Amino acid sequence: MNPVSRLIVKSANLSFIQKALLTYKKDMPRVVYYHIVSNSLEIPYYYKKNLFSENSLKEQLSWFIKNGYKFITLDEAVNLTKNNEKATKTIVFTTDDGFRENYDLFAPTFRIYDIKPTMFLISNCLDNKDLMWVNKVYYIKNKVSQRTQISICDELAKKYNLAGKFQDIVSFSDTWPMNEKDNLANEAWKLAGLQPINEFLEEHQPYMTNTQVKELIDNGYQIGSHSTSHPDFSKLSDEEVKYEMNYSKQIIKESFGIDGIRPSALIEENLYSNGNYELYFGVKSNLTNIGTNKFWERDKMEQDKDMGQFWFTTIPFVRNRILHPLGKYK
């Protein structure tokens, strides 16, 4: 959280307003999501801003309970909604990308609170088969000097005909065409002189193994698909979107014998209404809540207690009453 918003959140007495806002649409299930919970300050392949501690997670969960929330599974939420039943003050927990922290840290805490989340997995990364391209990019940024990064950018920009001058690998990766993102990330990794990726995966094990996923499923966790290779969906053709969705679903079915649900960002209504998924999730500028029947929005909750509370209470109202009527949010 930046210092200004921290000051606003801390200085304003928000408890009264928050209490009022918590009554807004309280009969609909809320869906929250996380990636990583960690007690270390940095995970070099992960976007640092999203790291939040086990302690923050516990504070957040206690705050939900204090405010009368009940933790339900995604299936339960789907059934309540399908049957037009009230899901008053209910929360569904989800995690993205399938990082090992699901097993190491989320699971022990969730067990205490009897939370059975849905984990959205990237099928290419499952079982540490590969490191997702964005995580490769962050690892290079954190491990290699800016000078080296600039020379990597120059070399690859020339090779792949990408225009522009880049100050670091992260800004360069914003320009990557999605059908070349994995090649670019792998070439950048080699040019950075890092250890071979299979050695890296063996040593760091960024993701859960299939055995760990199975164990969590046996403990009541649900799983869903979070695409095949984690592209930016806004840059894909319809055919590519279909592949990303269908292939990951197939791998999940083969690996665990069950169908997955996938959360997606910016997919057109006609595409997902014809798809074979039961539910789709979106994330739009952090402003999330339940949308229409097949398309649900989620709340990003990897924030410390104050900021997490602030977002959780404010977002549905802001989105539905302010942004949506103005046509800024669809």
List interacting residues with Zn ion (CB under 5 A).
Answer: 96-97
User: What is the rounded distance in angstroms from the CA atom of residue 253 to the CA atom of residue 24?
Assistant: 38
Identify which of residues 231 and 316 has a Cβ nearer to Zn ion in the complex. Answer: 231
Q: Report CA dihedral (21, 25, 37, 207) to the nearest 10 degrees.
A: -160
The H or E element containing residue 172 is helix 169-173
Q: Which is nearer to Zn ion, 96 or 244 (CB)?
A: 96
CB of 165 to Zn ion, least distance (A): 29
What's the CA gap between 157 and 151, in Å, rounded?
10
Distance of CA 105 to the CA centre of its chain: 16
- Judged by beta carbon, residue 96 or residue 182, the one nearer Zn ion is 96
Q: Select 46 or 103, whichever has its Cβ closest to Zn ion.
A: 46
In the bound complex, what is the minimum distance in angstroms from residue 97's beta carbon to Zn ion? 5
Between 30 and 226, name the residue whose CB sits nearer to Zn ion: 226
Least CB distance to Zn ion at residue 226 (A): 5
Residue 65 is classified by DSSP as H
Provide the sign of the torsion angle of the four alpha carbons 11, 12, 18, 24, taken in this order: negative
Entry field: residues in the chain:
330
> Considering the complex, what minimum distance in angstroms separates the CB of residue 321 from Zn ion?
28
230 backbone φψ class: left, alpha, beta (φ>0; ψ -120 to 50): left
Residue 206 Cβ vs Zn ion, minimum distance, rounded to whole Å: 13
Query: Residue 228 Cβ, how far from Zn ion at the closest point, in Å?
Result: 12
The tokens of 91 are what?
């929360």
Helix/strand/coil for 249 = helix
Between residues 96 and 127, which has the closer beta carbon with respect to Zn ion? 96
Looking at beta carbons, which residue is closest to Zn ion? 96
Residues 6+ apart with CB under 8 A from 79: 85
